[in-house]
Structure 1
């Protein structure tokens, strides 16, 4: 399993708004997604969301990489952005990297750690 790279797709209006909420980390690049659709048309098709955060932590140990990506996801979610990580270690991230947040039943209030693991498993089935 590789911990060297992770893409985080963000449903946001622009690269600038995402840059403003994230910490200044040398291992993070905030870019316009070349495969994006207009925000209003992208829906849950996260690979078409307008903004892409690329995390390339280099030689960091796996636990540090997981903490970094978790921190980025939680910051984005706290600021009201939908975000989904695409990487080899999604199953080690909250809400299976964010995909389980998209698949929550309407009206649900979120999930605890055990619940997101069950939701992630259901997404894989």
Structure 2
């Protein structure tokens, strides 16, 4: 995705589900189809990938899956909020790391898992 001044980035770390299940949950939460492990929602692109840092940390940054979200911030806040809520409702652990965590439910999820 090409960057512009209006584009932003968010990483969502997930534990407790397979890559396929997370992809399906992202698509269902946003009401759009998935294209293998990528979900497109408006101007957003959400790529569900194995986390290259999985197992290297005890905190969420070491969880097995990472969703890279790129696009406009206004759309991103809505999409990430919807996914986080759906993930928690499904019993998965999910935390968003971005510049707008204060605009997300439960501050992006970090307080849920703080030791």
> Does TM, scored on the shorter chain, surpass 0.5?
yes
Aligned pairs for 1:1-125 within 5 A: 4-23=8-27, 24=34, 25-26=39-40, 27-37=45-55, 45-57=59-71, 60=72, 62-103=73-114
Q: Which has the higher strand share?
A: 2
Question: Unpaired runs of 5+ in structure 2?
Answer: 1-5, 28-33
The answer (yes or no) to whether the contact 1:7–1:85 under 8 Å persists in 2 is yes
**CA RMSD in angstroms, aligned pairs only:** 2.2
TM-score, structure 1 as length reference = 0.68
Structure 1 residue 5, shift from structure 2 partner: 0.6
SS in 2 for 1:56: strand
Partners in 2 of 1:83 and 1:3 — Cα distance? 23
Aligned-partner Cα distance in 1 for 2:7–2:102:
12
Q: Give distance in 2, aligned partners of 1:67 and 1:8.
A: 14
Structure 1 residue 12: deviation in Å? 2.6
Equivalent residue pairs, number: 96
Runs of 4+ residues over 2 Å off in structure 1? none
Q: Say which one has the larger Rg.
A: 1
User: How far is 1:91 from its partner?
Assistant: 1.0
